[in-house]
């Protein structure tokens, strides 16, 4: 059974890490960030909810009077 030649692994792994680092830096440097992030004004939205002012009662079957 032949031996596995691992002599080039170090160079391969190091060059891959360097290449990935350079690619990542290029990607990040081309990203557009907002210059002045500002808060958006929040507006309160009034929605009509029909059950808001009503009293609703839910009867469970166990609470009903027995006959």
Assigned token pair, 33: 């960030």
Q: Tell me the domain boundaries of the chain.
A: 8-32
Q: Per residue in 19-41, pLDDT tens?
A: 999 999 999 999 887 778 787 77
Distance between CA atoms of residues 53 and 45, nearest Å: 17
Q: How many CA atoms, within 13 angstroms, populate the side-chain half-sphere of residue 65? A: 1
**What is the average pLDDT across 46-66?**
63
Radius of gyration of the chain (CA): 34
CA distances in angstroms from 60 to 11, 22, 26, 55, listed in the order given: 73, 66, 64, 16
Distance between CA atoms of residues 6 and 13, nearest Å: 11
**What is the average pLDDT across 34-62?**
69
pLDDT of residue 36: 80
């Amino acid at each position: 059974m032949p031996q596995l030649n691992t002599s080039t692994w170090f160079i391969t792994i190091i060059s891959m890490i360097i290449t990935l680092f350079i690619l990542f830096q290029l990607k990040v440097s081309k990203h557009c960030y907002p210059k002045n992030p500002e808060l958006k004004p929040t507006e309160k939205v009034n929605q009509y909810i029909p059950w808001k002012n009503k009293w609703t009662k839910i009867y469970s079957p166990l609470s009903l009077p027995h006959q």
